[in-house]
Amino acid sequence: MPVKTTVFGYPKIGPQRELKKALEFYWNGKISQVELMEASENLILNNAKTIAKHGIDIIPSNEFSFYDFILDLSVMFNVIPERFREIENPLERYFAIARGTVDAPASEMTKWFNTNYHYIVPEIESNTEFEFIENKPLKEYELLKSSLNFKTKLVITGPFTYLYCAKVKNTEYFLDKIAFVYESLLDELEKNGVEEVQIDEPAMVLDLDKNIVNSIIDCYRKITANLSRMKIYVQTYYESLSAYEKLVYELPVSGIGFDFLEGIENLENISKFGFPKDKALIAGVVSGRDPWRTDFKEILKLIGTLTKFTEKIILSNSCPLIHLPVTIKNETFPKELSKILSFANERLEELTILKTVINEGKEPPVQDLSMKFVHPDVSEKVSQINQKALHRKPEFAERYKKQMEILKLPLFPTTTIGSFPQTTELRKARADYKAGRISLEEYENFINNEIKKAIEIQEKIGLDVLVHGEFERTDMVEFFAEKLQGFAITKNGWVQSYGSRCVRPPIIYGDVWRDKPLTLKETLYAQTLTKKPVKGILTGPVTILQWSYPRKDISKKEIAYQIALALNEEVMELEKAGIKIIQIDEPAFREGMPLKKAKVNQYFDWAIKSFRIVTHEVKPETQIHTHMCYSDFNDIIEKIYEMDADVISIEASRSKGEILKAFEKFRYDRGIGIGAYDIHSPRVPQVEEMIEIVERSIKLIDISLFWINPDCGLKTRGWKETIASLSNMVKVAKIIRREA
């Protein structure tokens, strides 16, 4: 039986970030809703044409989203927070849930499993009643059918994964409640001629107990009960399917998809338990997460093994292609690097090559995938790392007392996370410098003027610990990747993080080392402008690793240690130059955690150690901060504690202070700033709502250790709202000090 190919999760932002531009034009009133809809339809059609042009047999639909696919489901199923229901325009209401309004805070945003993609958390209460009110998937299906004559495979996130994303406690109860809306959706799709539906269930790779597994199977029996012709495929990814034997054999579906690259146990389970003859196996054999070219010989060997268990094989990507840029063809890498790289469009080509080789009995193309980008001193330094030398002395309480005496800070010190608004003028100056329209001297003078303005604004607002604003940084990871050796930077390698927010993940292709200062110049200049302390700010080793594409020839642990050693050199120079507070941001600390519990401790061993490599040599008087945001940190607070930072700032506003539950169980006796307001929304927070967060927090945290700050950097905000928000935040600190 000849194999076919399919894909899912193709990048929806467009090759030139068309989605980002359209969204921001719409939000700024530069285009109408009709024009935004036209832009979205063009993207949908062009993406489908691209996939078809590359020879993919089964083309997906319902993969476009204005913000994220979980929010799309919430709107479809009427899971709309009460505070937004009065907004009559459906699109405006949709964006209000994601971004907030003047009067209503946005819904919580968090990370999609162990990736840097974000989604809007559904607000499901015990009395929530699901209602099927809109069939968005059918609209896109019919658009592609009428415009291109494509009969597509419709893709939708499954009920179990949706409820997992909503963080509901009684999953079994809600699976029963939500089944009927999925049943209604699938029934309507079948009546309108849809023949194939892929239901994404990455949450099925988590550690599942017996009751949950039985509830999942019951839910699928209900949602497929009335179907007669439609084929349903369940797609899993990011790890190996849990409860393999029961789910594979008892789920009432036509096929199941596996990630054979990150879920290596999937092959072991198929070898041990076999695979049902009545189901198709969707084999995820080209990566959706890393940019390294597929090794055809290795993958053909894997496919050959799979054919021993089933003839019904459909080749696919291992996980959504949203984690990759659109194409490598717009890049200018050295030949020795280009030959081993592959982005989303190249993954389509690889699938077609694999299909052709298998179906026509051809030899695979000759490949040279060798990676030989090493620096002899780096691996030697990594091998010399001594576990015992990574503990700071003296213990925290003594260090912190000494630090606060030197810094002369008030109770409830105020600060920001690091970045300030990146204006149109700033982006233009950066573009002009890169294009050669202005000199390095002119560009640096512009940056210094921005730093000076930022310091003046912070002093006027009354903040206690200042930052230089990070105006020289395009992105908190890309900036360091540009200055460290061993990284490659793309020109057009954009990947969506959330909404219109896109990043360009650097590529770690060789050993990492530091050959020049990274942050010293701007930080020291800012400190000359004020008598208040200015924080030196670096991105931590785990986050640089997690938000880059790591090389494959050595372990993530070794890469993290290499980055940590380079950052340690920078920290020591900052300290030597007189910087008294140094912040090492680790927002991806939780994100890097494996999805399987059995692998968690091994990860935290090297993740914690990486942070300590950066900081362990500083003097007791130097205060070390770290920052984390938009992940669920409650269950790892003890691991965060082991990082031994003097102060941590952590998100709490969008999650309604959920992190505070962790402090009810674990006594966190180090400096901490609970994010007092959400920076990802354009609304200015009121004093009263920030006071509520602070007052809830200080019931659980020693007031002498408590800091007040926003929940994240301010790069994406405008100056007007930033000044108003920070001014209110300083008012909060003054009120709380009077009451303390």
Q: Please indicate, yes or no, whether the overall pTM of this predicted structure exceeds 0.85.
A: yes
Residue 151 CB burial class (10 angstroms; 0-12, 13-18, ≥19): middle
Q: Is 584 helix (H, G, I), strand (E, B) or coil?
A: strand
CATH number among 1.10.10.10, 3.20.20.210, 3.90.870.40, 3.30.50.10, domain 4-360: 3.20.20.210
Q: What is the pLDDT of residue 618?
A: 96
Is pLDDT above 70 for 657? no
312, 281 in Cβ contact below 8 A?
A: yes
Return the structure tokens found at 721. Answer: 């709202």
CA separation (Å) from 325 to 331, 483, 487, 685?
11, 22, 17, 35
Q: Provide the 8-state DSSP code for 127.
A: T
What is the average pLDDT across 389-412? 93
Secondary structure (DSSP) of 128-142: --------HHHHHHH
Q: What is the pLDDT of residue 629?
A: 78
Q: Which residue's entry shows tokens 């719409």?
A: 26
Average pLDDT across the chain, whole number: 94
Q: Encode 364-376: b = buried (16+ Cβ within 10 Å), e = exposed.
A: beeeeeeeeeebe
Q: Provide the 8-state DSSP code for 670.
A: S
Q: Which position among 118, 468, 627, 680 bears the catalytic label?
A: 680
Return the structure tokens found at 528. Answer: 């000359």
Q: What is the pLDDT of residue 653?
A: 58
Over residues 300-312, the pLDDT tens digits come to 999 999 999 999 9
The domain locations on the chain are 4-360, 403-423+460-739
**Confidence band, pLDDT 50/70/90 cuts, at residue 652:** low
Q: What is the pLDDT of residue 513?
A: 95
List the CATH code of the domain at 403-423+460-739. 3.20.20.210
Over residues 201-237, the pLDDT tens digits come to 999 999 999 999 999 999 999 999 999 999 999 999 9
Alpha helix segments (H runs only) across 374-519: 376-383, 396-407, 424-434, 440-461, 478-483
Is pLDDT above 90 for 651? no
What is the average pLDDT across 261-289? 97
Over residues 423-466, the pLDDT tens digits come to 999 999 999 998 999 999 999 999 999 999 999 999 999 999 99
Q: For residues 424 and 441, what is the distance between their CA atoms, to the nearest angstrom?
A: 20
Is pLDDT above 90 for 706? yes
680 is catalytic: yes
Q: What is the pLDDT of residue 536?
A: 97
The residue type at 274: G
Is pLDDT above 60 for 263? yes
What is the average pLDDT across 707-727? 93
Q: What is the pLDDT of residue 654?
A: 56
In this chain, the answer to whether the domains covering 4-360 and 403-423+460-739 adopt an identical fold is yes
Return the structure tokens found at 344. Answer: 């989303």
